A and B are shown apart, each in its own frame.
Chain A
Amino acid sequence: MIGLGFPAFTPIHPDPQIAAAIEAAEQEHYLASPPADMFMRAGAFFLDGLFYWILSSAILKVAGILSLWLPLQSNDSGVWLFRITLYLAYTSAPLVYFGATPAKLLMGLRVIRKDSGKGLTWKDALIREGLGKIPSLILLGIPAVLGFFDPQRSCFHDRIAGTVVRQIHDPL
């Protein structure tokens, strides 16, 4: 991910006035950007799913071949616990540090706080991805369809975490 020019790797000027001016400009720009198209978000979700699947399959396969950790070698609760933890790490860490998941970054999308335009904290990200998305996935994505009928394109997981997804720029 390094080299894509994401905010986590961008230095902030030590002068608090300049740093605050730039941050405020960023947040205002994000808030003023249009809500992300639902098809675009669905595409990003699909691509993230693929990235996640590659990552989890690779880890499980290596664990199986090298007999690294017994619970990862059978299809039991250990595997599920691992998959859920990895899913939360895969989605939440990029949200906190880069402002979006890898696929969303490629699509020019940014997840921000609805009220301030600021980036998400760990708490926000875990609520959004854990309490919001996992029940949504269990219910076959039906709560996420809410976004189609909302002018701000807020899905169930956005409402629960107080977030919005904005189209910051064209897909890379």
Chain B
Amino acid sequence: MILLIPISPEVPKSRRPRFWPGLLLSLILAIVYMEISPVLQADKKYLEGLSSLIQTHEDGRVELMPEAHLKLKQRPLLKIVPSRGDWSFRRLLAANFIHGSFPHLLLNMVGVFAGARICSTFMPFSLILAVFMIGGTLGLFVSTVFTQQISIYIPHLGASAGIFTLMGMYYVFNFHYRTKYFFWFPSKYGLAGLRTHWFFFVDVVLLEIILSAAQLFPGQADVVDHFAHVMGFAVGATLALALRTVLRWPAFIQTKSEYLFWRELRKSPMPQDAVEWAKTWMELLRINKFNDLVKENLLEILRANAATLPQPILDKAVSYIHPTFIRLNPELTANTLTSLLMQDRSLSKEWLERTPYDCVIRIARFLVSDTLGSEPLARLLRPYQEAHQKDIGLQSKLGVLLERLKPESGDQAGIRDNSPAASIPRQSTRR
């Protein structure tokens, strides 16, 4: 059960998921459904008289008569899909592509399309298909063996375990990044980039774990095979971890293109100094400008080498600090800017022009400190004011803020107070 459909990992347009892997897998499911429809019809006809073999006790408990078990054992569908009392490896494998009804098929076609599509940002189609089949088969096997049901001849089928395997792969590969979800029309209001590590977990895993726990208690279960879903997800996550280890895929790499660049880089000697490292991180950001982990690494280089980095490198590096990154990482951004500003490094005018005022406000609290006072903030606000000369409203806001920051007895904003009282360490307060 998934509440919101993940549309895409947050990646640049050129790295967006491809359409055809999802479409191809969905078409395979549809073709298989058409092929086995005579079996489904025969199965439906065969089960018509089964309701007369169901016994309902006074306490509401439902039980099947012994004849019903025998009848279920002979049902046509069990010749192609597994059940707890009668299964084989071939049928487990085939069950990934077989669906019991049209609504079941339709739901899983949507799921398979979404799963295969989002995985195409980091996997080729052959691997997607292999992972889908391995995880789906294992998920169905565990669910077939462990689920408590009214009869051991209840069939287990459907692509959902495989879909959850793909979701598990996606979860591991995109753990540190954001996923775009669609939830509302018109789409400009209804697309939200949610952090994969918590929302994907809540959306896909948490509900399934809770619902699959219910599946272990007879009477609490529904008709959905949650157990297969959880197992499929676990297999997908495990396969992803194994694959990442074999490929030596670092955690800060999100897409296939970044990985290919990193693999080539590993073949030659690794960068030796800060400038080379800064260039490497910027090259990765040129491939995927949404990669916040690489931005964190780049900002760390800027912070540690604020005095020595050449100005062109600095300007280019700062241009990758986008508003969303500032909003999500205000403290890291502020610490880097403090280091740069206190080394009298200038920030590029283009970056100041395109940084919205809400970002400045958000990092303002982190730009003031016990030791430096409001000097870093004042040093940011002055060029920011110059860069926004055409915006009269903003000019006045910045003017008022700079005026307010001026110490009552000091000659300039943020001059360090060297009085004895100022040397007493003060506790930061929180609102």
Chain A interfacial positions (CB closer than 8 Å to B): 3-5, 7-15, 17-22, 24-26, 28-29, 32-33, 37, 39-40, 42-43, 46-47, 50, 54, 57-58, 61-62, 64-65, 103, 106-107, 168-172
Contacts and interface: CB of A to CB of B under 8 A. Distances in A.
8 contacts: A9-B430, A11-B428, A13-B368, A19-B429, A22-B361, A29-B361, A42-B189, A169-B358
B393 A32 contact: yes
Given A13-B374, A21-B401, A29-B358, A172 B210 contact: no
Given A29-B361, A43-B183, A169-B358, A14 B397 contact: no
Contact of B357 (A19, A29, A46, A47): A29
A18 B184 contact: no
Given A18-B373, A42-B184, A54-B202, A169 B393 contact: no
Q: Chain A's interface: helix, strand, loop or mixed, by majority?
A: helix
B365 A172 contact: no
Contact of A3 (B191, B211, B328, B374): B328
Contacts of B368: 13, 15, 18, 22
A22 B368 CA distance: 10
Nearest to B4: A50
B358 A168 contact: yes
Interface in B1-34: 3-4
B323 interface: yes
A25 B207 contact: no
Contacts of B407: 17
Contacts of B373: 15, 18
Interface of B: 3-4, 178, 183-184, 186, 189-194, 202-203, 206-207, 210-211, 213-214, 217, 220, 323-324, 327-331, 356-359, 361-362, 364-366, 368-370, 373-374, 393, 397, 400-401, 404-405, 407-408, 426-431
B429 A11 contact: yes
Contacts of A40: 189
Nearest to A51: B202
B364 A25 contact: yes
B327 A12 contact: no
Nearest to B331: A5
B191, B202, B362 interface centre (most CB from chain A within 10 Å): B362
A7 B431 CA distance: 7
B358 A21 contact: no
Contacts of A32: 393, 397
B426 A14 contact: yes
Nearest to A41: B189
Nearest to B397: A28
B404 A20 contact: yes
B358 A107 contact: no
Nearest to B186: A39
A27 to B, nearest CB: 10
B150 to A, nearest CB: 19
Contacts of A13: 365, 368-370, 374, 428
A59 B222 CA distance: 18
Nearest to B214: A65
Given A17-B408, A40-B189, 16 more contacts: A5-B329, A10-B366, A17-B405, A18-B368, A20-B404, A22-B401, A25-B361, A25-B400, A32-B393, A39-B186, A39-B189, A46-B183, A47-B184, A58-B206, A65-B217, A107-B192
